[in-house]
């Protein structure tokens, strides 16, 4: 079980690290996407959410600053899910389905990071 938890941490943390880095790699494209969704200060919002994902992902990956990492990711997921994936407002069925999938995926990820708060500290193979 210890190794499964460590593998899960690596996969979940790695997902957020890679996704956050993509915010920086594709800043222009994601800024346009955020602007199309009515996000205030879209460029700054993309940079901030990218940083939140990288830091939160690193915390889970390395087992450091767990509660802060979970808080960063939970806030990111909650706000982003409600702002960016409002599938119920989309008329086109294909676009609606894509947004609904992302909405539900983000809710599942939110549940996963919140469950990490129930794991006793310190975590197995954590740096601190």
**Residue ranges covered by each domain of the chain:** 2-118
Q: What is the pLDDT of residue 128?
A: 66
pLDDT at 38: 95
| Helix axes 2-25 and 42-62, enclosed angle (nearest 10) | 160
Predicted confidence at residue 127, as pLDDT, reads 72
Q: How many CB atoms lie within 10 A of CB 11?
A: 11
Sign of CA dihedral 24, 29, 34, 38: positive
pTM of this structure: 0.93
Q: Is residue 73 within 8 Å of residue 16, measured between CB atoms?
A: yes
Q: What are the residue ranges of helices labelled H in the chain?
A: 2-25, 27-36, 42-62, 66-84, 93-115
pLDDT at 78: 98
What are the average pLDDT values for consecutive 10-residue runs of the chain, which has 128 residues? 91 98 98 97 98 98 96 98 97 97 98 95 81
The SS3 call for residue 110 is: helix
């Amino acid at each position: 079980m210890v190794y499964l938890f460590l593998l899960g941490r690596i996969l979940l943390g790695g997902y957020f690290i890679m996704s956050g880095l993509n915010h920086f790699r594709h800043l222009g494209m994601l800024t346009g996407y955020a602007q199309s969704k009515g996000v205030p200060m879209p460029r700054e919002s993309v940079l901030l959410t990218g940083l939140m994902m990288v830091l939160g992902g690193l915390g889970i990956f390395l087992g450091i600053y767990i509660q802060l990492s979970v808080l960063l990711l939970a806030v990111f997921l909650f706000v982003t899910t409600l702002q960016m994936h409002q599938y119920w407002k989309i008329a086109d069925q294909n676009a609606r389905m894509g947004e609904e999938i992302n909405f539900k995926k983000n809710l599942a990820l939110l549940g996963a990071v919140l469950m990490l708060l129930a794991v006793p500290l310190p975590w197995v193979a954590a740096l601190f």
